[in-house]
Chain A
Amino acid sequence: MKRLAALAWLALVLLAGLYLAYRVQDGLTFRTDLLALLPREEQDPTLQRANEAVSRALGRRVVALVGDPSRERARAAALALSADLKVTGLVSSAGDEIDADRMKAMGSLYFPHRRGLLSAGDRTLLLAGRGEDIALRALSQAFGVFGMADANLLRNDPFLLLPSFFTGLPFPLSRLTPDDGLLTVVEDGTTWILVSAALAGEPFELDVQERVIGAFDASVERLRQTAPNLQVKRLGAVFFAQAGSQAALDESTWLSTLSLGGTVLLILLVFRRVGPLLHNLLALGVGLGVGLSGSLALFGELHVAALLFGTSLIGVAVDYSLHYSACLFDRTCATSRDRLAHVLPGITLGLVTTLIGYMALMLAPFPGLRQIAVFSILGLIAAFLTVVLWLPPLDHAAPLRHGHGMLAAAGHLWRFWEDARFRVPRVLLLLLLVVVGVVGLTRLHANDDVRRLQSLSPALVQEQEEIQRRIGATAASQFLLVRAADDEQALRRQEAIAATLDRLVGERAIAGYHMPAAFVPSAQRQAENRALLRDALESPWLASQRELLGLPPASPERDDPVPPLTLAAALGQGGVPFLGDLVLGSGLHVVALQGLARPDAVRAALAGVEGVRLVDPTADFSALLGKYRQRALLLIAASALLMVPALVWRYGWRGRCGPWCPPRWPWPWPLRWRRWRARASPSSTPWRWS
């Protein structure tokens, strides 16, 4: 019977192993997006998509500032660095270069629709009835010494409104100016040139990090040999990710070596044999493997958080085999059968109560907690079955004879809790613990800020600040998501909040913002602009303007029936920089925020605006962690209550207070199991294994 069960279990484990091997060979990947951990009822696929798109665009951005006292050397170095990065094949141009071709493309896109396009400043002037200012400005440009208006433009746009619209377009990196094709800023005699690129791969892939940063460093190293004064500042998720993963890799290698080595050493020292070590590893390995294989089969994919938490909680499983091995010190248990019989009631009860706890976790609507629960439940059952079914046939050891000292020492500890002599100190100690606990609870405050979980490389943070100071504010990871039935509606919503955002800029809550509506006004706004142009500028001033410029009088039919510029057309031609990043889909637009200093002010100013929402991935995830914390505490309380029946059944009402504490945490386990074992001694146990 036992043999059959053990073989059946072997077959199951092999099956799980095969499935796992199949999945691993298929290329096992884990979900890493934090939003997948959100409770299902709060998951918002649109928001998730927006978040992913924005963080992908931000995360792939690689920015470097190359500075040198010599303008020529700085320019040459920037071009060389850019070329060296492109050679890796992992980096493409960022798409925000403003070169001659792009200017031409934008010109031909906007020119036919110019009558519906007004810069914010011109619109304000016209609304205030100051059309003459615009007319004068155009004249001064036409007659002035720096005449940039060519004949064709002046003939078609005698008020030069289109150049004004162009200069009013919101381009990021406000402190940079194009100098001979390269974005440049001069500061204290140093010329800084911007090198901007986009990663073709994910910044969190180790391979991408190594190749891109390797090429970057090699290029800078080479450039420094010819230009010793060259300075290079870098900014981008890939640099932070590389520094972070390097640190994490170093730390985790060191810590896991230490803990694994320590555990192995402790087991070898205590048992002075290899057998118990192998048994423990077997139980743990089977537990982890079956847990992983089973939850992959159930969920299809696992979140990396479930894997991390699950594997640490499954450490509980190692106790089952340790309990079993500890019986080697018990001389009344001469055979493996005796040992199992000795621990079985204890570990069974332990398993049942732990399973109750994890099943309570499954009740939570958080997919992350569910995955952790399933992973742990399967792993624990597998470890338990391995101990019960496999260890006895594998274990042929005679009882150990060397443990007197250790057992006696442990016995001393235990005597403190049982001996009548220690009653007073025992009560005092318990009271002290209660006082410490209560005082601690009053001082306890939770901090769910996810940023506490990672430490950014201070050197890179400093470089980032230097870059931002020189080139102007860069995009924040927070953004406004505008949702509407269609693009037109979404553009109107942006136009409606533009005044609020301008006020926020004035209050320094944000440094700036980019909205699709600035590049392509809504059809409604374009119609308004045409009417405004006709009534406030052309009716009073067009005739005199054309006369001053020496143009023939305008034909009576001025307002040619040109359809408004559409977002689709602007996106289709691809000439407008940044616009593609801001439009996620029909009616789903992003308003990028620069230098967000006071998210609360922005949130408050936009509260109640329909279809507009501030998305702050970091804060959202921190709030999620807080929710998890609260829910987990509740579930722990609930699972503790659920365990009562099992414990009452085993120990009766009188003994229920002793073992009643949530058997979830691996650390106090050995102490607890000793207590259980003492009470569940073989002679009194009603369970016999046969």
Chain B
Amino acid sequence: MTRFIVVLLALLALAETAFAAPPEPATLGEGQVLRGRFVQERHLKGFQAPLKSEGHFTLVPGRGLLWRTDTPFAVTTVMSPSGIVQEVRGTETMRLPASKLPFLSRLYAMLGGALGGDLKALESMFAVVREADASGWRLVLTPLKADDPAMPIRSITLKGARLVEEVEIAKPDGDFDRLRFLDQDLTAGPPAAEEVQLLGSAGRS
């Protein structure tokens, strides 16, 4: 699961640089904040309808990611170098400190690499296939190591133009998640005070 988070974060950041299609790649770096809405559909075999959630996210390079689900109910997930915390209606339901996650230190290496347009971090875990045309690009990632219990993923497909617009994650048993990113807004300047506070909450142990 943690590996999955790492991949996701890296991908979000990646999209800003290396695979941004023409006309020009945006560079997401320190001092910038990416905000947007997301729609997530989790397609589970045997379920009548996909589990659909919507909300908004904030990515602050170097500080972490806020993933706030608004519907069907409020869940706030904070990822930072210090760890991961999840809250539902003000009640903490998960807390994973960084000491429990050796990945987190690697996450930062990956994020840094990704932000600098360095694909090596991803290529150590995935076989990467790139396609691009005038309208945008497509990227298919397949894990190098099959049957890795830490990464139950068959493939990840990303689509986008300037920014990542859609991610599809296929699981080995046929389930898949589809994430769409809307209304993305890349701004310069520090994150809001509330965002800073939330990002800091993951650091408490």
Contact = CB atoms under 8 A, between A and B. Distances in A.
Interface of A: 71, 99-100, 103, 133, 136-137, 139-148, 150-152, 154-155, 175, 177-181, 184-186, 191, 548-552
Which of A143, A155, A179, A184 has the largest number of chain B CB atoms within 10 A? A143
Given A100-B147, A136-B89, A550-B48, A144 B69 contact: yes
Nearest to A145: B67
Contacts of A133: 91, 93
B88 interface: yes
Interface string B28-55: 0000000000001010111111110100
Given A143-B75, A150-B44, A550 B49 contact: yes
Interface residues of chain A: helix, strand, loop or mixed (majority): mixed
Interface stretch (B101-109, B132-140, B188-196): B101-109
Cβ-closest 4 pairs across A and B: A151-B44, A179-B102, A100-B149, A137-B93
Nearest to B103: A179
B42 A143 contact: yes
A366 B94 CA distance: 58
16 contacts: A71-B106, A133-B93, A136-B88, A136-B91, A139-B73, A140-B69, A143-B51, A144-B75, A145-B8, A146-B84, A148-B1, A151-B173, A179-B102, A180-B150, A185-B102, A550-B49
Contacts of B48: 550-552
B177 interface: yes
A181 B149 CA distance: 9
Interface of B: 1, 4-5, 8, 40, 42, 44-51, 53, 67, 69, 72-73, 75, 77, 84, 86, 88-89, 91, 93-94, 99-103, 105-106, 147-150, 152, 171, 173, 175, 177
B149 to A, nearest CB: 4
B45 A151 contact: yes
Contacts of A141: 93-94
Contacts of B150: 178, 180-181
A550 B47 CA distance: 6
A437 B34 CA distance: 87
Given A177-B99, A186-B99, 16 more contacts: A71-B106, A133-B91, A136-B73, A137-B88, A143-B42, A146-B5, A147-B177, A150-B152, A151-B175, A154-B47, A155-B46, A179-B103, A184-B102, A185-B102, A549-B47, A550-B49
B40 A145 contact: yes
A103 B149 contact: yes
A147 B46 CA distance: 17
Contacts of A147: 42, 177
Contacts of A552: 48
Contacts of A99: 149
Contact of B72 (A143, A178, A180, A186): A143
Nearest to A179: B102
B88 A140 contact: yes
A566 to B, nearest CB: 27
